[in-house]
Amino acid sequence: MQNTGTNTGTTTALAKPWLGTIWNLGSQANQPVVFPNVDHSPLPQEAAEYTVYLTNTPGSTNLADWNLALLDQVYLQGFEPDN
């Protein structure tokens, strides 16, 4: 799936995550793992073209209720190298 339109620029202050696709994980979570679909190069840049927000109040339209996830790691061959 591709979700666009919540922030067409790079300024996070203009983000509106409540307009995007919201996934209910069914329990508390504080670390998302994202598996992007990479359809062209360059790598790893293409694999990091997404923004993830976490919230306990998905109905809120107040950006202060949404926490911007920070990119921590990028795996070029999955969690383990493919032998």
Tell me the whole-structure pTM to 2 decimals: 0.72
What is the reported pLDDT for 3?
72
**Bridge partners for 64 per DSSP:** none
Residue 71 pLDDT more than 80?
yes
The 10s digit of each residue's pLDDT in 7-29 is: 777 788 888 999 888 888 888 88
Q: Is 12 left (phi over 0), alpha (psi -120 to 50) or beta?
A: alpha
SS3 26: coil
Query: Average model confidence (pLDDT) for the chain?
Result: 82
